Amino acid sequence: MKEKKRVCIAGLGHIGKAHLEALRRLGQTEVVGISCRENAQQRAEELFVPNGFCDWREMIDTLKPDAVHVCTPNESHLEIGLYALERKIHVLCEKPLAANKRDAQRLAAAAKKAGVVHAVCFHNRFYPTIRYLRRWIASGELGEIISIHGGYLQNWLLSLEDFNWRVLSSQAGNTRVMGDIGSHWLDLAEFVTGQKIENLTVKKKQVYPARRGPDGKISPVDTQDMASVCFSLTQGGLGCGFFSQTFAGEKNRISLKIGGTKKSAEWENISSDLLTIGDRQEGTRLLGRDPRQLKPVLTQGILTPGDALAASHGDAFTMMFAQVYQRMDDPHVQGEFADFDDGVHSMELLLLPEE
């Protein structure tokens, strides 16, 4: 019987907790420690994790895990990632991979040298319907892909009083809305079409030049709240996307519309089990509620076809992690998860100068 992989999570904000819950659904992992800045052991006990540390180095050195999940602010990804890779520990890092392209390249080089599994958490690739759409496009069902558009909308930073470490370039780098949510959309656009984005141009806007911080004082911020992009695909199609964290009424909506010479397809994460298929002759129809259609794209043993009809944000994390940990046991497993090379490519797109 294979032994469970011992896992540590660095960072216990919203995303760190999402990683914890997703990992608990896997049969082959055991979360043995978490790290956070304050009250680490108390928080670990509240979450039924045996060990809590305020220092992630102490956590790694004490527990010697098989894998580390990096869920901390962007500026710390390089230091934590390198520390783990130098000890031949597998690393799963939240996006963006680093605060800048140079740091991302250092992580990718270190991962290759260590010979371990490395992944960037572009988990949206693992909605079953997204993976089904990818195969459908590859089979030629839509014809030649001539256009793609959509966006990613949130409203959690709509108010002057909304504040988070992500609005500060000193902690998040200067990618802000592009790195936080635009990176997900751009990765999905490339993943479903099987093509790379080229000739990308970007326009950004800052709604609030200053925000009220936790201390109650109005302080300047140096990152952008919204962005729009235009680009081409490697086979000639055109695309555009709009990303905002200040769009009232939208908690977390991703939309993707792909136009082909035969048909079109539309997907949104808020109805993740459905694909809308457009056909000039046959009209518009819904696809995706048939469990038999989704069975080939499910990660083995994680979701049944019936479960996948209502696959959630957390399910996408779980299915991604399942594939990553399968690769740790068998290097021949063909994975569709993003690795650190993909993370470097993402940073190259995010850091293109504004038009």
| CA neighbor of 260 nearest in space, from 198, 195, 336 | 195
| Count of CB atoms situated within 10 Å of the CB of 236 | 11
Mean pLDDT, rounded, of the chain: 92
Sign, CA dihedral 240-314-59-4, equals: negative
Q: What is the pLDDT of residues 64-123, one digit of tens each?
A: 999 999 999 999 999 999 999 999 999 999 999 999 999 999 999 999 999 999 999 999
| Count of CB atoms situated within 10 Å of the CB of 250 | 17
Rounded to whole angstroms, how far apart are CA atoms 242 and 142? 24
pLDDT at 112: 98
- Contact 118/88 with Cβ under 8 angstroms? no
Rg (CA), the chain: 20
* Angle subtended at Cα 281 by Cα 275 and Cα 286, rounded to the nearest 5 degrees: 20
Tokens of 32: 């043995």
Q: What is the pLDDT of residues 5-22, one digit of tens each?
A: 999 999 999 999 999 999
pLDDT at 295: 55
128-305 falls under which CATH superfamily? Answer: Dihydrodipicolinate Reductase; domain 2 (3.30.360.10)
Helices (H), the chain: 14-24, 40-46, 56-63, 77-85, 101-114, 128-138, 169-172, 176-177, 183-193, 291-294, 305-308, 313-329, 340-350
| CA neighbor of 145 nearest in space, from 132, 161, 159, 134 | 134
Q: What is the pLDDT of residues 173-198, one digit of tens each?
A: 888 899 999 999 999 999 999 999 99
Q: At 27, is the pLDDT very low, low, confident or very high (cuts 50, 70, 90)? A: confident
Q: Any idea where the domains of the chain sit in the sequence?
A: 5-123, 128-305
Please check the confidence at residue 310 and state whether its pLDDT lies above 90: no
Q: What CATH code is assigned to 5-123?
A: 3.40.50.720
